[in-house]
Structures are given as structure tokens and as C-alpha cells.
């Protein structure tokens, strides 16, 4: 009888960084005794009636594999799936050896050895802890260090591995199983790879599909069979739609378990039959279970189920028409935005990095919480950053689930090949390893309707343009970039998918031509807009200077770093003296700017710490109290407030661009998640705790948002309502000036009608004398903005605040906040002394969850608490991730900016 056995191996997991360098330098050998799994090969059953396959879904990274004393393979690519027929090796052990042995080389020394070759090509750049080697190692690039995480350079079996046995005898048909791998437990065939892609008839990745055309369901399988099958065929069914394909024949399968045979079949479904998949904020992420049945004979078949959805996703990069330019006021140039099911939409979201320095520690529950948090904050797109890893589709092969959760939650995934922030030399040896890596991962992810594109890598196009302009031999590097990212990778991806586009880089100048694919680089026309962009500016004086924000069709990265909360620091700090903003240990976890070597602590950390310090001192009251722990906690929290203020400002600016000449249709904040407890750009801490920014994005990514655009140079205030809806939105906005004691000084009501993906200006004035209530000064008051709108039959609200001067100069008063426990984990907050600027409620250590306004059912924290306007919030606990299942209501802590300088 055929079977599948999970091979148990253990990985060394480290929790520190600098005192563990020796682990990186050593080789590590993993050994597992296979005899409990292979007894059928040594007596009870003749090995001729079975085949044994050794299958690895992830080996990190350079290793020699031995089975029963026999050499099997040498591997050097963390991102590939490997399968080997070990039937004869197990049946003929060397001197009774029954072990599987995997001897891992140090990836660091491997890289050092490769770069020491006399024929190696030198490449400029690289500033991380282990510089100048990662380009030659097909491994998670941030394992060698990044500016938000450690450089552990881990090694080991980081994804599931299996011993699969196949029977050479025919088996009866069985019920469908939930995963292609499980087919092998009752079948003579092993499904090494499975690709299911839904597209439109005639669809290609580079042009808008015919939305009325039939759907094409294409299934591609890589099969190894223990028996010869002469007349096989496949049927594909969707029980929910009561659809079954005709018999889809394919060529005979040879009795070959040493290498896979690829087969492809497809059939058509009329456009009108299935419901379409949409992201959660634009519709329903409808999914169907599709059963693929492989018929081996009249009496033998095997089936598996794939969950997927019907949708078209298009990356539009064609030029704007003259009509668009004349009638819509579009700035000339090329489009750069996505369309779902034929409709342009606004991409709102963040970027993700690896969830843990040690992949094997990541769980589906942790990941799903991060994704659910993104949905709760109004995001509809996550960019899978190209310096991390290919995210998995399921626990069986990937250890945890990412893409399936995206499908179910209705959130897009922008996928990238793993190349980042470096020039990658190319040679035949590297390309031979990269090609199957890319093909395997593209085929695997084809089934996911959440996937929107494949980018060749992260931020490399800009590096090669600069190198070409500044290096004497720059043309050489440009030519290599073209060979790898314009030609080689593009062609592979295009051969493996019909439904999503390929772009050479995350941040790109766009294309001169899509067919043939030719990158634009610096071939630009002055005054035209091409491609997409990113923005980083660590000069806090320019944080809200709109002239420093890019005018772009799509901004795929922008961010500012902050500290994690006091609660996160408690997880890693061990001595009382460590609990200080600039303590050695705290600074050791600030990798911005990167160290450029193995020095400890990061010699450049004072720059990153200084940027956060400056930001807080310029825009907020400087934390200083008589309690050192509170001062530290207020510093950490204040860096998060500035981060949120800065990012919300940029989001609002880019969203407003949807109705301006740039027709901006995308903003993705850097970044969503953390890899450890330390300084980073994230909106969610390593434990799953939301930072201030995550609540800020909940407001900034609301379907309809109100925002005050303030230009201090000419003292101009513009209040704008922006909508990302597909229908015209009508509503009411209210602007109320308050003093810091909470007295309402002036209120105005504004009706608005906002067209699809556009703006409505509801107020504009120049000069403080025309903006502020009479007799008031900028230090003594602030403006509360809110709106109510009807969207698809539902009432939505949004609120923002405006202070005409920095909060560092504002005349704050003691808000005298009272926190009243109502019931369960529901609390009412009230202020009796004044306005609680940035009132913040902290949940206790060991809990994971979010605060929700019980009136609006919207996540809410970090608000302005006005006397007489109480707020009631409920803490919604994630029971699966919380160590403390029933937190004590008395352990919830409230703070405001007043506490930066007062106990």
C-alpha cells in the first residue's frame, strides 16, 4: 500500500544575534533514521512492488544529501522543491546504514568561497552585516542582514520533507483528497507539482482581456508514476456549479519515478456561470472547490481538490490617450495601475517581510492574524517583498499558509522573485539553478486569485541605472540586468502564467514596449510620468512637506521607522538599565542605517535613533518624566505617533492624486509586519500588537476619507474628501474648532458629492486670520474633521484632526482621563480636564487583539478625547495567539501626550 511519511528533523533556533555568530560559521548535519518508515523494503514486502521518493519542500541552503550511505544530491537553492527516487538506495543500504543524512555547509563560507574564485565578477554596493556574498547564494537575502532585522544566516530543513512510497499495483478509485500530495497515499502516481490557472480565452499577461469571453480552466501536473498508464485522462469538476468537463486526454504516462512527466489539460466555462472573486473592499472574495480527477484506467482514478476563484487582474501600462489628457486633465505618460475584473481600483496596503528570522517557527495562525489585521485596517493589497521568501500556499508543503488565506480574506498579493537591492552577476551555473526555482513557484501560485503580478526583484532597476551612470564599466552591469530581468526571468514567468503580468522591478521606470518586453530605464520625456515610485525622507522637518512627496501613478514603498512598544521590549530586555531609549541593547536592535559589517552594536544606529529623536522633538512634547520606565515607554509610543502622522499624511496625499493629473491609483506603506522586537517601519509588532500606525491606516484607508492639507509656506489649508468607490458618493462633513480645554469654538457643515476614484474640495483658505476662529492663536486650538457618507446602502464615518502648529508647541492641558470598565473587555474613556490628544489604550502583555469602537464597529485607538464626547471601545481578543486568555481589565493602561511630560 502506498503511503506518505513526514520526516522528523530538528532545526537550531536562536533568539539572539551577535553572540551566535559561531553558528553561522559552522557546518551542520541533520540525521534521521528511516528504518521505521522503510520496513516494507526489507523483508515483509519485496521492494520491487514499491517505489520510494524522498521529497523536500525547503532546504536552507547548501547541502549534501545521503540515503542509506549512498550519495543522492548536492543542492544549493533554498527556494526549490526537490524529489529523488531512492528505491534502490533504501533496498541496498551500505553496511546496514538506514539513515537519511543532510550535511549543510555554512552559507556564509559558501558565499565567501564562491567570491574568492579568480573568475568571479565583482559587484558594487551592499551595506548589510554579511556584505558582497548574498548575490551568489540563492537564499533569503535578508538572512544576511537588513535595516529592520537580524543577520542570523540560518540553516536547516525549514519546510516539510516526506518519504513517499508508491505502489506498483493498481488501486481502486477513492474520494477526493484535500491536497495533491495526499494523492500519493493511495495511488501509484506522485503529483510533484500542481498548477491550476483560470484565465479568459485569448488572455495574455500584457493586455486587457475580453471580459465577456469564456473562462479557461487550465491544469498542469508534474507526475511520477510507478506503473505505465496507456490511456489516461483527466476530468475537472466544480460541484457547486454542477459542472464537469469532458474527458481530457493526455499522452501515456511512462513507468518512471526518476523524473516527472508534465501534462496539461484545459476546458472552457461560459463567463456568466461562476461568480467573480473580488477583494473584500470591492465585493466578495468568492471561491470554488475544483476537483481534478486523474483516471488511470476504467476502475482506477485518484482525485484532489483545489480552492480557487474566477477573476481577471490586469496591470495596465499602456500610454494615456490624448482624450484622457484633454478631457480628464491627465499628465501625459504611461498608466501604471491594476484593474480587477475590468475595473480600475485604488490599491491600498502595505509591504510584508519574513515573519520570523527562523522560518520554521512561523505558524498559519500568526500569519492569518497579520492578514486579518490588514483587512481590518482597510487594506486590499500586500506586497511580498523580494528580499525575503516566496510565501507558501499551505501547511503541508510550506509549513504555514499565506496565499490561501489571502484568497479567503479577499486581499491581493503582489508577488516578487527573490532578488533585492543588489546587482546580480549571471552565469550558466546560476541560471541553471534559478530557472526551476522560478518555474516551480509561479506554477504553485497560479491557482491563487489573490496574486496580482510577478515583479523580478526589489529596487534593483534604480541601482543599475545609477551604476550605469557612475561606473566606468556601468554598461556591463546594465547589460547583465537586461539579460536577467528583462529577458530571462520575463520569459520564464510569461511561459508559466497567462493571468498576471511581469515587471522587471518593484520600483520601475516602466516599459518602452510590452511586446517585445523592453524596459524604459532613463528613456523619458520631460513632464511625462512613467512607472511607479517610492519615497523615504528621514529629515523630520520635511515630513509633511508635500513638495517632497513623489508625483506618481503608484507609490509602492514609503515609510518612517519607530520603536516597538514597551511590552515588546519587555520580551527581550533583561536588565533595568536596558530600558532606555539609547541603551546599548536597544540600539543594538536598530539596524538603520545598516552596519556594513559585523561590528556590535551597529555603529550607524545613532543615526537611526537620532532621526526618531528629532522627529519626536520637532512634532511632539519631548518625553521626560520622573519615572524612567514611563519615559522610555512614552518615547517608544511617541515615535509611533510620529510614524502614524507621517504615513497618514502621505497616504492622503497619494489618494488625493487619484483625482489629479498623476491619477495615482496605489499606495503601499513600508511595512506591515515585524521579524523581531526592534526598531522597524512596521505597523504590527512581532507579537501581533498593533502600533499607532495600524489604527492610523484604518482611518486613512477608509473608503471615503476627509483630510486637511496644510501648506505652511503660504498658510493655506485645503480640506478634501477622497473616495475610492466605484459609484458617486454623497455625504456631509463637519469641521469643528476646539480649544485644548475642549470648548467648541466654531463649527461648519459641508455637503459633498464625490465622483468615483476622485476628490471633492470642501474648504480652502489662505492666511491664519482667515482660517482660525477670531481672536485665537495656533497654539491654543485644533480642528476636528469628520464626515458621514452613504456607501452602497451603508453609513460610513471618517475623522481626522489638524493642528495649525506642532504639538510640541501646543498649549496642552491635563485631560484628566477616566477609564471605566463597562463589562467584559469593554471600556468607556472620558476626559474632564481637557482634550486628550492621542488618547491611547494599551492592552496587557501576553494578549493579542485590537480595540474596536462599539458605536462604529471600526478599529479605534489613538484618538482625540474631547470632554463631553466619551468613547467606548471593546478589546477583541485573538484567543489563539494570546498567552493570557482572560486579561484583567485593571491591567489595561491609558495614556495621552500629556503623559510625555507628566506622570
C-alpha dist (Å) from residue 250 to 46, 233, 305, 686: 32, 6, 20, 48
Q: Could you tell me the pLDDT band of residue 3, with boundaries at 50, 70 and 90?
A: low
d(CA 763, CA 773): 15
Residues 6+ apart with CB under 8 A from 334: 317, 318, 319, 320, 510, 511, 528, 529, 530, 531, 553
CB 183 within 8 A of CB 27: no
d(CA 854, CA 630): 29
CA torsion 391-395-399-405 (nearest 10°) is 40
Give domain 168-309's CATH superfamily.
Answer: Immunoglobulins (2.60.40.10)
C-alpha dist (Å) from residue 53 to 178, 489, 495, 633: 21, 30, 28, 54
Residues 6+ apart with CB under 8 A from 890: 821
Q: Could you tell me the pLDDT band of residue 167, with boundaries at 50, 70 and 90?
A: confident
- Alpha carbon of residue 79 to chain centroid: 17
Long-range contacts of 716-719 (CB under 8 A, 24+ apart): 716/764, 716/765, 716/766, 717/763, 717/764, 717/765, 717/766, 717/771, 717/802, 717/804, 718/761, 718/763, 718/764, 719/750, 719/761, 719/762, 719/763, 719/764, 719/785
User: How do beta strands 288-295 and 301-308 pair?
Assistant: antiparallel
pLDDT of residue 13: 35
Angle, alpha carbons 412-415-421 (nearest 5°): 135
CB 796 within 8 A of CB 853: no
CB 76 within 8 A of CB 65: no
Q: Could you tell me the pLDDT band of residue 45, with boundaries at 50, 70 and 90?
A: very low
b/e sequence 689-706, b meaning 16+ C-beta within 10 Å: bbbbbbbbbbbbbbbbbb
pLDDT digits (tens, 9 = 90+) for 635-656: 999 999 999 999 999 999 999 9
pLDDT of residue 10: 39
d(CA 477, CA 357): 31
C-alpha dist (Å) from residue 275 to 215, 245, 269, 338: 12, 18, 12, 20
Q: Could you tell me the pLDDT band of residue 761, with boundaries at 50, 70 and 90?
A: very high
Q: What is the fold, at CATH topology level, of the domain defined by 702-809?
A: Immunoglobulin-like (2.60.40)
Neighbours of 880 (CB within 10 A): 12
User: How do beta strands 849-853 and 794-802 pair?
Assistant: unpaired
The DSSP code sequence of 497-527 is: -SSSEEES-SS---EEEETTEEE-TT---TT
pLDDT digits (tens, 9 = 90+) for 193-252: 999 999 999 999 999 999 999 999 999 999 999 999 999 999 999 999 999 999 999 999
Chosen CATH of 21-162 out of 2.60.40.10, 3.30.70.1250, 3.40.50.300, 2.60.120.260: 2.60.120.260
- Taking alpha carbons only, the member of 560, 643, 555, 640 closest to residue 348 is 555
pLDDT of residue 44: 39
- What average pLDDT does range 607-613 have in this prediction? 98
Q: Could you tell me the pLDDT band of residue 312, with boundaries at 50, 70 and 90?
A: very high
Least confident of 40-44, 442-446, 592-596, 857-861: 40-44
pLDDT digits (tens, 9 = 90+) for 512-541: 999 999 999 999 999 999 999 999 999 999
Residues 6+ apart with CB under 8 A from 563: 569, 581, 586, 612, 635, 636, 639, 640, 679
Neighbours of 377 (CB within 10 A): 28
- CA end-to-end distance (rounded Å), the chain: 71
Domain 534-699, architecture per CATH: Alpha-Beta Barrel (3.20)
d(CA 438, CA 271): 31
Grid coordinates given for 875: 478589546
Residues 6+ apart with CB under 8 A from 272: none
- Give the catalytic positions in this structure: 459
- What average pLDDT does range 715-742 have in this prediction? 98
CB 782 within 8 A of CB 803: yes
d(CA 303, CA 264): 16
Residues 6+ apart with CB under 8 A from 613: 581
pLDDT of residue 142: 98
CB 861 within 8 A of CB 849: no
pLDDT of residue 38: 87
The DSSP code sequence of 39-81 is: GGGTTSS-GGGEEEEEEES-EES-EEEEETTEEEEEE-BTT--
Res 47 pLDDT > 50: no
pLDDT digits (tens, 9 = 90+) for 72-89: 999 999 999 999 999 999
The ranges assigned to domains in the chain are: 21-162, 168-309, 534-699, 702-809, 817-900
pLDDT of residue 18: 83
- Taking alpha carbons only, the member of 595, 616, 761 closest to residue 128 is 595
CB 532 within 8 A of CB 508: yes
Domain 817-900, architecture per CATH: Sandwich (2.60)
pLDDT digits (tens, 9 = 90+) for 541-583: 999 999 999 999 999 999 999 999 999 999 999 999 999 999 9
Helix (H) or strand (E) holding 801: strand 794-802
pLDDT digits (tens, 9 = 90+) for 787-798: 999 998 999 999
d(CA 230, CA 237): 23
DSSP code for 275: P
- Sign (positive or negative) of CA dihedral 733, 739, 742, 746: negative
DSSP code for 121: P
Neighbours of 794 (CB within 10 A): 8
Q: What is the rounded average pLDDT for all residues in the chain?
A: 95
pLDDT digits (tens, 9 = 90+) for 405-422: 999 999 999 999 999 999
The structure's pTM equals 0.96
Q: Do domains 168-309 and 817-900 have the same CATH topology?
A: yes
Amino acid at each position: 500500500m502506498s503511503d506518505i511519511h513526514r520526516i522528523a528533523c530538528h532545526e537550531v533556533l536562536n533568539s539572539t544575534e551577535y553572540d551566535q555568530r559561531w553558528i553561522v560559521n559552522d557546518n551542520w548535519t541533520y540525521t534521521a533514521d528511516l528504518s521505521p518508515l522503510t520496513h516494507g523494503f526489507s523483508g515483509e514486502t519485496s521492494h520491487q512492488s514499491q517505489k520510494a521518493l524522498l521529497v523536500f519542500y525547503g532546504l536552507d541552503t547548501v547541502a549534501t544529501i545521503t540515503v542509506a550511505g549512498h550519495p543522492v544530491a548536492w543542492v544549493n537553492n533554498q527556494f526549490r522543491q526537490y524529489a529523488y527516487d531512492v528505491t534502490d538506495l533504501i533496498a541496498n543500504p551500505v553496511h546496514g546504514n538506514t539513515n537519511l543524512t543532510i550535511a549543510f555547509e555554512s552559507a556564509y563560507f559558501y558565499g565567501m568561497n564562491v567570491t574568492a574564485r579568480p573568475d568571479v565578477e565583482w559587484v558594487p554596493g551592499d551595506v548589510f552585516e554579511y556584505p558582497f556574498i548574498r548575490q551568489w547564494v540563492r537564499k533569503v537575502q535578508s538572512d544576511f542582514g537588513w535595516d529592520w532585522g537580524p543577520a542570523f544566516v540560518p540553516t536547516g530543513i525549514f519546510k516539510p520533507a516526506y518519504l513517499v512510497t508508491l505502489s506498483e499495483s493498481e488501486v481502486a478509485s477513492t474520494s477526493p483528497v484535500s491536497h495533491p500530495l495526499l494523492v500519493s497515499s493511495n495511488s501509484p502516481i506522485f503529483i510533484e507539482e500542481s498548477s491550476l490557472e483560470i484565465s479568459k480565452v485569448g488572455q495574455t499577461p500584457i493586455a486587457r482581456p475580453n471580459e465577456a469571453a469564456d473562462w479557461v480552466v487550465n491544469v498542469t501536473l508534474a507526475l511520477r508514476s510507478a506503473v505505465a498508464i496507456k490511456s489516461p485522462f483527466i476530468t475537472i469538476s466544480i460541484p457547486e456549479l454542477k459542472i464537469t468537463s469532458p474527458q481530457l486526454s493526455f499522452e501515456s504516462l511512462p513507468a518512471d519515478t526518476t523524473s516527472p512527466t508534465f501534462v496539461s489539460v484545459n476546458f472552457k466555462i461560459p463567463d456568466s456561470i461562476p461568480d467573480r472573486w473580488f477583494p473584500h473592499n470591492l465585493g466578495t472574495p468568492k471561491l470554488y472547490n475544483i476537483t481534478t480527477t486523474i483516471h488511470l484506467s476504467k476502475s482506477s482514478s485518484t482525485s484532489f481538490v483545489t480552492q480557487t476563484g474566477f477573476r481577471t487582474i490586469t496591470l495596465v501600462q499602456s500610454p494615456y490617450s490624448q482624450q484622457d489628457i484633454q478631457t480628464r486633465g491627465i499628465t501625459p505618460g504611461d498608466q501604471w495601475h491594476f484593474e480587477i475584473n475590468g475595473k480600475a481600483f485604488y490599491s491600498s496596503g502595505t509591504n510584508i517581510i519574513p515573519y520570523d528570522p527562523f522560518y520554521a517557527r512561523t505558524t498559519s495562525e500568526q500569519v492569518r492574524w497579520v492578514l486579518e489585521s490588514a483587512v481590518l485596517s482597510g487594506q486590499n493589497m500586500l506586497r511580498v517583498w523580494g528580499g525575503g521568501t516566496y510565501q507558501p500556499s499551505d501547511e503541508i508543503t510550506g509549513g504555514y499558509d499565506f496565499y490561501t488565506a489571502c484568497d479567503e480574506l479577499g486581499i491581493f498579493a503582489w508577488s516578487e522573485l527573490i532578488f533585492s537591492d543588489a546587482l546580480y552577476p549571471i552565469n550558466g551555473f546560476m541560471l541553471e539553478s534559478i530557472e526551476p526555482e522560478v518555474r516551480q513557484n509561479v506554477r504553485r501560485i497560479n491557482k491563487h486569485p489573490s496574486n496580482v503580478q510577478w515583479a523580478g526583484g526589489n529596487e534593483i532597476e534604480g541601482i543599475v541605472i545609477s551604476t550605469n551612470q557612475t561606473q566606468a564599466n556601468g554598461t556591463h552591469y546594465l547589460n547583465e540586468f537586461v539579460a536577467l530581468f528583462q529577458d530571462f526571468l520575463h520569459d520564464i514567468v510569461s511561459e508559466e502564467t497567462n493571468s498576471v503580468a511581469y515587471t522587471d522591478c518593484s520600483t520601475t521606470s516602466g516599459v518602452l514596449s510590452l511586446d517585445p518586453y523592453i524596459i524604459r530605464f532613463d528613456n523619458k520625456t520631460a513632464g511625462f510620468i512613467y512607472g511607479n515610485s517610492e519615497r523615504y525622507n528621514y529629515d523630520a522637518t520635511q515630513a509633511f512637506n508635500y513638495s517632497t512627496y513623489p508625483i506618481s501613478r503608484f507609490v509602492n514603498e514609503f515609510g518612517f521607522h519607530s520603536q516597538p512598544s514597551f511590552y515588546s521590549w519587555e520580551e527581550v530586555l533583561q536588565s533595568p538599565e536596558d530600558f532606555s531609549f539609547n541603551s546599548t541593547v536597544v540600539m543594538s536592535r536598530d539596524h538603520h542605517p545598516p552596519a556594513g559589517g559585523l561590528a556590535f552594536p551597529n555603529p550607524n544606529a545613532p543615526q537611526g535613533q537620532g532621526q526618531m529623536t528629532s522627529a519626536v522633538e520637532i512634532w511632539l512634547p519631548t518625553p521626560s518624566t520622573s519615572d524612567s520606565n514611563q519615559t522610555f515607554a512614552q518615547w517608544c509610543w511617541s515615535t509611533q505617533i510620529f510614524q502614524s502622522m507621517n504615513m497618514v499624511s502621505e497616504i492622503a496625499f497619494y489618494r488625493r492624486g487619484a483625482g489629479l493629473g498623476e491619477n495615482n491609483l496605489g499606495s503601499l506603506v513600508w511595512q506591515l509586519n515585524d521579524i523581531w522586537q526592534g526598531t522597524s517601519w512596521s505597523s504590527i509588532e512581532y507579537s501581533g500588537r498593533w502600533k499607532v500606525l495600524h489604527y492610523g491606516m484604518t482611518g486613512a484607508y477608509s473608503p471615503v476619507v476627509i483630510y486637511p492639507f496644510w501648506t505652511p509656506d503660504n498658510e493655506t489649508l485645503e480640506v478634501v474628501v477622497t473616495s475610492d468607490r466605484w459609484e458617486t458618493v454623497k455625504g456631509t462633513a463637519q469641521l469643528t474648532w476646539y480649544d485644548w480645554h475642549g470648548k467648541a469654538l466654531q463649527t461648519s457643515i459641508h455637503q459633498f458629492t464625490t465622483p468615483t476614484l476622485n476628490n471633492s474640495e470642501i474648504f480652502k483658505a489662505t492666511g491664519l486670520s482667515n482660517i482660525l476662529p477670531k481672536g485665537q492663536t495656533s497654539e491654543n486650538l485644533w480642528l476636528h474633521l469628520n464626515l458621514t457618507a452613504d456607501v452602497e446602502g451603508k453609513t460610513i464615518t471618517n475623522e481626522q484632526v489638524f493642528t495649525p502648529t506642532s504639538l510640541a508647541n501646543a498649549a496642552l492641558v491635563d485631560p484628566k482621563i477616566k477609564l471605566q470598565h463597562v463589562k467584559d473587555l469593554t471600556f468607556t474613556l472620558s476626559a474632564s480636564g481637557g482634550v486628550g490628544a492621542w488618547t491611547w489604550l494599551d492592552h496587557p502583555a501576553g494578549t493579542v487583539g485590537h480595540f474596536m469602537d462599539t458605536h462604529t464597529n471600526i478599529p479605534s485607538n489613538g484618538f482625540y478625547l474631547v470632554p463631553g464626547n466619551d468613547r467606548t471601545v471593546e478589546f477583541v481578543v485573538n484567543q489563539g495567539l494570546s498567552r493570557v486568555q482572560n486579561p484583567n481589565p485593571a491591567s489595561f493602561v491609558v495614556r495621552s501626550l500629556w503623559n510625555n511630560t507628566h506622570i
